[in-house]
Amino acid sequence: MSHADRIRYEQLRALHAGLSLATERPRVVAVTAALSKEGKTTLTHALACVAALNGERAIVVNCDIRHPAADCDGQGLIECLREQATLAEAIRHPASGADFLPGGHGEPNALGLLTSGTMARVLQTLRHDYDLVLLDTPPAEAITDARVIAGLADATLFFVRWRATTHAVALHALQLLEEAHAHVVGAALTQVDVNVHVRSGYADAGVYHPRYGGYFRE
């Protein structure tokens, strides 16, 4: 594992610790971003794996149910919300240790399903069965569904793509989440080039220097 990879892994541990050490630890966490292609889904799965390595029961739920999901070759969240499948039938158990509930096969009436009593019951069951439930949402700036899901969660994490998403777009997405009564507990940068960032002069840049490599060895 390279120094940069060790740093990324340590940052995921820090993000997980931030959730774990909260006074009222959230169990159901919505994960969103302002726009698409910000690295949100990749980091959501990585965060779930870190939780699993820590001995927690963790699951990622794909809540982007408007389009047919490439991650689903069978039943998923949509089928559970339509009561065509049970959670036990739809949940996958990959070797990573963190479970996964795919989105399903596409649902144009996503908002109706996400605001249904069935969705509330699904979340209640997952809350009972898992220590950490990560709800991977569509982009908050573009799709109403993300704000609805964030309002159902105990907390929301907001991911921002480094040197790509503008300040104005990020702030507007956060405003939309606030209007939806989402409890945003933190934000994190994605796709950071650590080799560039180490020379940036920002307060956290020093930790990326190779002289700290010994702290991040397995």
**Tokens read off for 129:** 């069965």
19 with 31: CB under 8 angstroms? Answer: no
Average pLDDT of 140-150?
A: 92
- Domains of the chain: residue spans and CATH: 3-216 (3.40.50.300)
Per-residue pLDDT at 17 exceeds 60: yes
- Taking the C-alpha atoms of residue 58 and residue 166, their distance in angstroms, rounded to an integer, is 32
- Across the chain, mean pLDDT equals 85
What residue spans of the chain are helical by DSSP H?
3-20, 40-53, 77-81, 87-90, 110-114, 117-129, 144-152, 167-179, 194-197
Please give the pLDDT value at position 71: 56
pLDDT, one tens digit per residue, over 26-53 is 999 999 999 988 889 999 999 999 999 9
pLDDT band at 203 (very low <50, low <70, confident <90, very high): very low
Please give the pLDDT value at position 157: 95
